[in-house]
Structure 1
Amino acid sequence: MPVTEQRSLLSRAFYVGPPLRTLHEEYAKGGRIDTAAPVTAVCGIRTAAPPAVVWRLLSDLDGWPGWVPGVAAMSGGGPGGAVPGLSFRWKLGGMTIRSTMAVVTPERELCWTGLLAGTRAVHRFRLVPLPDGGTEVVSEESIGGPLLALYYSSERLEQVLRAWLSALKTLAEEQTR
């Protein structure tokens, strides 16, 4: 569900938002996205896989091209996986995104900021252990930048996040069997 505050298309089209450093230090590290951004989405999924399996997939950045829909390349992920401050580049839908990890809390939270074509994003995954041994995974993202609202919507972002979560659920449950 989009969490963008209700504003006119014009005000959303010219939204620039906080500088990347502020998004990284205050928003991402503070466990939040920019809800004033013109494009936002929050969605979740429940999986029978335990948090450790889900975490292993999410934190293995080099493995993303093998299962994340639209991710074709990754560089800078490194053998240690995700760590705070790690800078990495990846291709999503043919476009290169430059990202930096902000929060890496094993089996709980993975959050990074990213730059793509003049836009700035915060993407956060939260893992919630379930009583039955499974995991609820919540993905939330905000993207801000001038004119973004004219060509990319919160509904489209939600579709992307849902596809990512669905692929994560499928692979995590396969690896749990």
Structure 2
Amino acid sequence: MSTISRPRALAVSLAVAGVLGGTVPVAQAANHSGPPRCGGLGVDEDARIRYESDVVIKAPLSKVWKLQTDVERWPSWQPPVLTAERLDPGRLKKGSRFRWTTPAPATPTTPATTLGITSTVRELRRHDCVLWSGPAVGEGLRIDEGVHLWTFTKVRDGVRVHTEETWTGSQVEADVPTATAALGGGLEAWLRDLKSAAESRLTTRP
């Protein structure tokens, strides 16, 4: 991936449709010929706030997929996810909804708060991709919509996981560099946690 900009450094990273991260990364742009899709759907092409990244995970695709789509167990391997609950029964599928919470530290323009995120799955292809979207709301902070895409591709060393996300909303769009850095920090942390959990010798429960 090529660097397109370097947002100013933040003391903290806010992850609204991702999780809280440590080091704030540089915003990324993809080298692929066309934007990634899931069943023809992708992130918001008009959004001013966007970030994408990839990681290769040395684990079976089935394990990586289960970790990512077993939403209610996210808190067991993602420390920044405080709670996660499904709002409908059965296997995660198109139309499924889930609600989860994550802390949001203070930034120069927003207070520390806990965000409640209600996500709706817009598309899902088993062992291939999933796309969800929804608002994130906390006291003094709101993102009108985050659109989050994940794709999973088998490679020789395991699974290449690609993720990208966009945010829209007047509050976050008032400071695009800060919001982009926050989003990137969260997505990079999510990838690190997913890789660590998937490559561990502990098996996931059925």
Q: Deviations over 1:113-154 (max 9, x none)?
A: 11122421110110010023x000011000011131335421
Equivalent residue runs for 1:52-71 within 5 Å: 52-71=62-81
Q: Distance in 2 between matches of 1:30 and 1:145?
A: 24
Q: Deviations over 1:75-96 (max 9, x none)?
A: 2255634111011111022210
Aligned length: 155
Contact 1:71–1:92 (Cα < 8 Å) also in 2 = yes
Of all paired residues, the percent bearing the same amino acid is 28
Q: CA deviation at 1:36?
A: 2.3
The DSSP-based 3-state class of the residue aligned with 1:135 is: strand
Partner of 2:96: 86
Partner of 1:106: 126
Task: Call closer, same or farther: CA 1:56–1:79 in 2, change over 3 Å.
Answer: farther
Q: CA deviation at 1:57?
A: 0.3
Q: Deviations over 1:13-42 (max 9, x none)?
A: xxxxxxxxxxxxxx8763311132121000
Q: Distance in 1 between matches of 2:153 and 2:39?
A: 18
Q: Distance in 1 between matches of 2:2 and 2:119?
A: 22
Unaligned ranges ≥5, structure 1 = 5-26
* 1:143 alignment partner, one of 153, 167, 179: 167
Partner of 1:16: none
Q: Quick check: 1:124 aligned with 2:149?
A: yes
Contact 1:84–1:104 (Cα < 8 Å) also in 2 = yes
Task: Call closer, same or farther: CA 1:34–1:52 in 2, change over 3 Å.
Answer: same
Contact 1:73–1:90 (Cα < 8 Å) also in 2 = yes
Q: Distance in 2 between matches of 1:148 and 1:2?
A: 24
The DSSP-based 3-state class of the residue aligned with 1:34 is: coil
Contact 1:57–1:168 (Cα < 8 Å) also in 2 = yes
* 1:168 alignment partner, one of 194, 203, 206: 194
Contact 2:134–2:146 (Cα < 8 Å) also in 1 = yes
Contact 1:2–1:40 (Cα < 8 Å) also in 2 = no
Task: Call closer, same or farther: CA 1:3–1:126 in 2, change over 3 Å.
Answer: farther
Q: Which structure has more helix as a fraction of its residues?
A: 1
Contact 2:38–2:125 (Cα < 8 Å) also in 1 = no
Contact 1:3–1:42 (Cα < 8 Å) also in 2 = no
Partner of 1:22: none
Q: Distance in 2 between matches of 1:176 and 1:104?
A: 26
What TM-score results when the alignment is normalised by the length of structure 2?
A: 0.67
What TM-score results when the alignment is normalised by the length of structure 1?
A: 0.77
Contact 1:115–1:121 (Cα < 8 Å) also in 2 = yes
Contact 2:38–2:151 (Cα < 8 Å) also in 1 = no
The DSSP-based 3-state class of the residue aligned with 2:65 is: helix
Could you list the structure 1 runs, at least 4 aligned residues long, displaced by more than 6 angstroms after superposition.
1-4
